[in-house]
Structure 1
Amino acid sequence: MQNTDPTKYYVLYDGDCGFCNFWVQWILEKDEKDRFMFASLQSPFGQEFLKERGLETQDFNTLYLWKPQGFYLVKSKAVVEIAKILGGTYGFLARLNFLPVALTDVIYDKIAANRQKLATESCLLPTPEQRKKIIS
């Protein structure tokens, strides 16, 4: 894919979702080690990611965490891995890894199905430094 950095983790999310944008902003604020880049699933970058893997290109209910030349994780596994990468007080979420994915993905799907109701009215307004981490 275009200009990817193999040292970064790429978070692909629903760019039209206020709830998702809230969590992108949260990760941006907690990413003290500059490990994450972001792209909406609707963006050319996001669409290319989905097409290259034969994934659905019109359903944006799934969060993806991708490491170039490596792996990608979906839904609850992506959430747990993001927490693990952030470490510190957020690393406790990595302990949820012992739960079956079928169970944690059911919880993820319930939240995803209701995310528009959970959304705040605020928009993501990244700082100039954070804007460098968002791929279109």
Structure 2
Amino acid sequence: MPKWPDDDVILFDGVCIFCSRWVRFVAQRDTAKKFRFTPIQSDYGAELARTFGIDPDDPDTNAVIHGGVAFLKSDAALTVLSHLPGWAWTRVLFAVPKPLRNTVYSLIAHNRYRIFGKYDACFVPDADLRARVIE
């Protein structure tokens, strides 16, 4: 798998309401401000997505670059959660077989707009979060 020069970057679908809530959830709990965020609709996000085989026009996963490596689907979510203060316990979920975790992840991802809705344009974060967004 290719490497990425920036670390602890979360790639997300900026028009997906669920994905945008995920970003806010992480940002509120990431007291060390370790993670940064990039919407797949940005130039930087689209380049990152293409590098790791994600179609920027039809994303089926979020991703996180951690330790220079891209984690996708359930691995991405659990990697992020397990590095948040008070959430280390989520590492035990890596014991659940990856095909099962990714089946559940893909089911939600495939139906995210229908279940949670979609913004007309990328959500605009507040000033504090905006400083952590790479576009």
**Cα RMSD (Å):** 2.3
TM-score by length of 2: 0.84
Aligned pair count reads 130
Report the counterpart of residue 82 of structure 2 in structure 1: 84
Deviation at residue 53 of structure 1 after TM alignment: 3.6
Query: How much does 1:36 deviate?
Result: 0.6
Matching of residue 100 in structure 1 with residue 97 in structure 2: yes
Question: Take 2:102 and 2:64, find their aligned partners in 1: how far apart are those partners?
Answer: 15
Partner residue, 2:116: 119
Distance 1:56 1:126, change over 3 A: closer
Give the Å deviation of 1:51. 2.8
Distance 1:51 1:29, change over 3 A: same
Match of 2:132 in 1: 133
Alignment of 1:1-136 (within 5 A): 6=6, 8-67=7-66, 70-88=68-86, 90-119=87-116, 124=123, 126-136=125-135
**1:91 Cα offset (Å):** 2.1
Name the aligned partner's letter for residue 12 of structure 2.
Answer: Y
* Alignment gaps of 5+ in structure 2: none
Poorly superposed stretches of 4+, deviation over 4 Å: 120-125
Distance 1:5 1:28, change over 3 A: farther
State the Cα distance separating 1:120 from its structure 2 match: 5.9
Change (3 A) 1:32 1:120: farther
Percent identity for Structure 1 against Structure 2: 28
**Deviates most, 19-28 or 58-67:** 58-67
- SS of equivalent residue, structure 1 residue 39: strand
**Unaligned 5+ runs, structure 1:** none
Contact kept, 8 Å, 1:22 with 1:124, in 2: the verdict is no
